[in-house]
Amino acid sequence: MLIGCEPSQKVPVLSVFPSTASSLDLLDCAFYLGKLKMQTSKFGPILVLFLLGSALFSQTDSGTKPPGDSSGEKMAEDVYKDIKVFKGFPAGQIMPAMQFMNDALGVGCNHCHLKDTYEANNANKELARTMIRMQFDLNKTVFGGGRAITCYSCHRNEIEPPTLPPVGEIKQRTPEEAPATAVLPVDAVLQKYLEAIGGAAVVSRISSRVEKGTISFGETHSPIDVYCKAPNKRMSDVHSAEGDSITAYDGRAGWLGGSKRAAQLMSPEENYAAGLDAQFAFPTNIKQAFLRLRPWRAEKIAGRDVNVLLGITTGRPDTKLYFDKETGLLTRMIRYAETPLGRIITQIDYSDYREQGGMKVPFRWSLARPGAEFTVQIDQVQQNVPIDDAKFAAPMTTAGNPEQRGH
């Protein structure tokens, strides 16, 4: 059962497929693609592969104001048929906003839409519009234009927001865990990281990498190959029974493709996230990924102290990088996707660092965001393997197909 959402149907960032172990079409290991399950009792569980725009986590929250069309990205009303409340927001933020509502209310798409008729209106969709307007109004009139209130503030994963505080269950409020230790300067954190993975001299001599492993969405496992080339090219290829699924960044543009789907360019936000991932494959480049880095409050992850750096880029999300205080290794990256309703968090945890060719790389990473999780376990890494640039090149740009979303 295919519920539409192919690029041709002008829903470029979402695919819905039946829930079979082999149904994963659009898999990612560039960290910004997640899978979510639609909780639908009528149709049975369905897998939705959902491409998440990159994170817009700026210190100065733009609130509910549409960020504008500076990137030349299409607006929601130019792409979709019946946009009323999301007029003026970038088209690329609409699917993340839908996902936000799914998560905030604990429902599937079919709570507000009937199969294949997303533009059709019904009572629930209208009610959601009323709620969206209420959220916008509340934030504007009561909370000074920020985004203090979202669907989740009231709904807490439930259709019907609770009206009474719970009894009989004493919520354990953990005191601020963050250790009050001195914040390390950026260069000290990066220096320690580089030393931990083999030292700048060794690391800077590594200019390409091929990784082979397994990507797991819950109980669904598929082989995955990851190709990285310095300074910032990256391509991952998931081989599922449904065919190959490619996520790539050619150093400038990101694209998605595969044996069964037409290649398409990423939106500007997706592109940014893909670029980050490509750059992070070669850690001597981390600084170049951001306008600047600055130290952030130290935190704890699973009881371990971490140094946190904030990656700042103009007009883009701040990204949080977590480095283990003791080992120096990068253990987590957090970024946020902007939607008209609120941000969607994406957390990537890196682990199982092993040395290969003098450099330590994470053999395992997990991506988690609301309703979406996958883990990649690498079992074979080769450094400095020659990789042809053609591997990363978008077929539609090389073939001269002008179908571009964004840029």
118 near ligand HEC (CB under 6 A): yes
Q: How far is the CB of 9 from ligand HEC (least distance, A)?
A: 9
101 near ligand HEC (CB under 6 A): yes
- Dump strand ranges (E) for 2-96: 14-18, 33-38, 46-51
CB-facing half-sphere around the CA of 250: CA atoms within 13 A: 18
What helix, strand, coil percent values describe the chain, rounded to 5?
Answer: 25, 35, 45
Stretch near ligand HEC under the rule CB under 6 A, chosen from 110-118, 217-225, 269-277, 303-311: 110-118
Query: 1, 114, 159, 291: which one contacts ligand HEC (CB under 6 A)?
Result: 159
Site size toward ligand HEC (CB under 6 A) is 38
- By beta-carbon proximity to ligand HEC, the closer residue of 13 and 197 is 13
102 near ligand HEC (CB under 6 A): yes
User: In whole angstroms, what is the distance from residue 84 CA to residue 126 CA?
Assistant: 10
Query: 27, 47, 91, 128: which one contacts ligand HEC (CB under 6 A)?
Result: 128
**Sites for ligand HEC among residues 188-227 (CB under 6 A):** none
83 near ligand HEC (CB under 6 A): yes
Query: 42, 59, 72, 81: which one contacts ligand HEC (CB under 6 A)?
Result: 81
Termini Cα distance of the chain: 33
1 near ligand HEC (CB under 6 A): no
**Sites for ligand HEC among residues 323-342 (CB under 6 A):** 341
- By beta-carbon proximity to ligand HEC, the closer residue of 129 and 391 is 129
Residue 357 in tokens: 């060719």
Q: How far is the CB of 82 from ligand HEC (least distance, A)?
A: 4
- Given CA atoms 290, 144, 87, 10 in this order, what sign does their dihedral have? positive
80 near ligand HEC (CB under 6 A): yes
109 near ligand HEC (CB under 6 A): yes
The residue length of the chain stands at 407
Q: How far is the CB of 258 from ligand HEC (least distance, A)?
A: 20
Distant-in-sequence, close-in-space partners of 48: CB < 8 Å, separation ≥ 6: 14, 15, 16, 17, 35, 36, 37, 38, 109
Query: 145, 161, 162, 218: which one contacts ligand HEC (CB under 6 A)?
Result: 161
105 near ligand HEC (CB under 6 A): yes
User: In whole angstroms, what is the distance from residue 13 CA to residue 372 CA?
Assistant: 15
- Dump strand ranges (E) for 241-393: 243-249, 254-258, 264-265, 292-301, 304-312, 319-324, 330-337, 344-356, 359-369, 372-383
Query: 56, 112, 289, 393: which one contacts ligand HEC (CB under 6 A)?
Result: 112
Helix (H) or strand (E) holding 215: strand 208-217
155 near ligand HEC (CB under 6 A): yes
**Sites for ligand HEC among residues 14-33 (CB under 6 A):** 14
- By beta-carbon proximity to ligand HEC, the closer residue of 95 and 308 is 95
> What residues pair up with 221 in beta bridges, in sequence order?
216
- By beta-carbon proximity to ligand HEC, the closer residue of 35 and 316 is 35
Phi-psi region of 348 (alpha: psi -120 to 50; beta: other; left: phi over 0): beta
Q: How far is the CB of 34 from ligand HEC (least distance, A)?
A: 12
Residue 233 in tokens: 């090219």
Q: How open is the CA angle 340-345-350, to the nearest 5 degrees?
A: 155
**Sites for ligand HEC among residues 340-379 (CB under 6 A):** 341
Residue 135 in tokens: 């959220």
- By beta-carbon proximity to ligand HEC, the closer residue of 147 and 192 is 147
Of the candidates 322, 319, 394, the one whose C-alpha atom is nearest the C-alpha of residue 54 is 319
Query: 125, 343, 360, 369: which one contacts ligand HEC (CB under 6 A)?
Result: 125
- By beta-carbon proximity to ligand HEC, the closer residue of 84 and 300 is 84
Q: How open is the CA angle 15-86-88, to the nearest 5 degrees?
A: 110
39 near ligand HEC (CB under 6 A): no
**Binding region for ligand HEC (CB under 6 A):** 11, 14, 80-86, 98-99, 101-102, 105, 107, 109, 111-113, 118-119, 124-125, 127-129, 131-132, 135, 149, 151, 153-155, 159-161, 341
